[in-house]
Amino acid sequence: MMKRKLWISISFVVTLLVFVYAQNPSRLKESGFNSAFTIPLETPYEQYLELMTHVIANARVETNNKDAIVAMNSPFIFKPQVKPVNGIYPKGILLIHGLSDSPYFLRAVGKYFTEKGFLVYGLLLPGHGTVPGDLLKVKNDEWIKATRYGMLQLKKNAKDVYMGGFSTGALLSVHYVLSNTNHDVKGLFLFAPAFAIYSKLAWVAPIVGTFKDWESIEDDTDYTKYQSFTFNGVTQTYRLIKKVDELFDEGKRIQVPVFVAQSIDDRTVSTERTLFVMKNYVTGKKMFVLYTTQPEKDYDGEDNFVITVNSYIPQEKILNIPHICITIPPDDPHYGKNGDYRNCLYYKPDSPERQQCLSDPGIWKGENTEENIEKYKVITRLTYNPHFNSMCKQMGEFLSVIEK
C-alpha cells in the first residue's frame, strides 16, 4: 500500500513537471540551433553572418518587426571608407558582447571605429541572440571557440588587429591575449570588463545551477537582450573568470595597450577588481575612464592612468552610471533618452513600483544601488551613457598615442 502511494505521488509529480514544462513559452527551452559554436574555422566571416542570421530568424519567437529584431541580434561587419590593398584593410577590430546581450550592444562603438578606418567584426556568442533557453547548457569553451574564430577571420582581412568587448566579452578578449602567445593584438578596448562578479555569492551559482535552471524569468520584451536569466550563464562567466585568474597566477600579463571605461557604481561586475587588474597585471600603456559621483577622488595613486568623469547629472535626473549602459549612446532608438525601452527589472512584475518605473516621465535614472533605492524608492536603471561621445573622443586620444 505504501509503495503504491509512493508510486502515485511520484507519478503525480512527474506529470505535474511535464505539464509545467509544456506550459513554458518556447523561449525558455533550447532552440536546438545555438548552444555550441559549430562553424568551421575556415568559413569566411560574411558566410558566418548569413548562417547566424538564418539561425536567429528560425529561433526568435516574435511575429512583429521580426526582420528588424533579427538584424539587431545578428553579428555584423562594418567596412571603413578606406580601400583595402589586395583585400587587406590597414586595421581591424573584433567586438564581443556580454552575457545575455547581443551584438547590438557594440554597434555604436563599432560605427565609431569604422569612422576611424577600422574594419569591424561584431561577434555573436553561442547561446545569445536567439532565445534565453539557449543559455541553459552552453559552455564558456564555446565562447572561447567563437572568439578564436573571429580573430582568425579578422587577421585574414586586416593588417593590424585589435579587440574590444563589453563585460563578459571584454573578459574573452583578455583571455585571448593571455592564452595565445602569438596573438598579434595591438590593443584592447574593454567596457565594464567582468574580471569579477560584483555579488560575493557568485561562487554559489554553479551549485544552485545543478538543481535550478532559472535565476529569474521575465517577459523578455527587451528584444536585444535576454531578461530571463539562467544560472548556467552566471556559472560559465564565473568559470571564465577563474581561467583568467589562473593565467594571472601563472605570471601571464597583459602586455598590450588597454583602454577601459567603467562605473565605480557598477552592480553587475566589480570595478575594484578592474582597478586592481589594471594596476598590477597590465604592463603596457593604459587609460581608465572611470565614471563616479566623486570625480575629485584619487583612484590610482601615482600611476595616473585613471580619468574620472562625474556621473551625477542632476539636470538630466541621472544619479550615477550602471553597468549596462556604457556602450549605448543617448540617441539610441531602443535604449536612449527617447528609446522604446525602460529597465525596471529591479521591481517585481505587476507591482506598483514597476508600474511607476515604467510610466513616470519624471523618474530619476541610475544604477540599482542600495543608496539610490533607499533615497528615491523607485528609479529606472539608466540604459544609455550620457558621456558616450566624450568616451569616443577619449578612445581616439588613446588610439593616437598607441598607434605612434
Instruction: Domain ranges for the chain, please list them.
Output: 43-311, 313-386
Full-model pTM: 0.93
pLDDT beyond 90 at 398: yes
pLDDT value of position 79: 98
pLDDT by residue (tens digit) across 26-72? 899 999 999 999 999 999 999 999 999 999 999 998 889 999 999 99
Angle in degrees, 0-180, between the axes of helices 168-179 and 231-249, rounded to the nearest 10: 30
Q: Name the architecture of domain 43-311.
A: 3-Layer(aba) Sandwich (3.40)
Which among 308, 301, 300, 320 has a CA at the least distance from the CA of 364?
Answer: 320
Contact 330, 387 (CB under 8 A): no
pLDDT of res. 17: 32
Q: Minimum mean pLDDT among 12-21, 294-303, 380-389: which range?
A: 12-21
pLDDT band, residue 9 (cuts 50/70/90): very low
Of residues 205 and 1, more confidence is placed in 205
Least confident of 161-165, 299-303, 363-367, 381-385: 299-303
Q: Report the mean per-residue pLDDT for the chain.
A: 93
Joined together, the cell numbers standing for residue 37 give 559554436
Q: Tell me the pLDDT tens digit for each residue of 94-128.
A: 999 999 999 999 999 999 999 999 999 999 999 99
Per-residue pLDDT, 63: 84
Burial class (CB in 10 A: 0-12, 13-18, 19+), 365: buried
Region for 176 from its dihedrals, namely left if φ exceeds 0, alpha if ψ lies in -120 to 50, beta otherwise:
alpha
What one-character DSSP code corresponds to residue 282? B
Residues 262-278 pLDDT 10s: 999 999 999 999 999 99
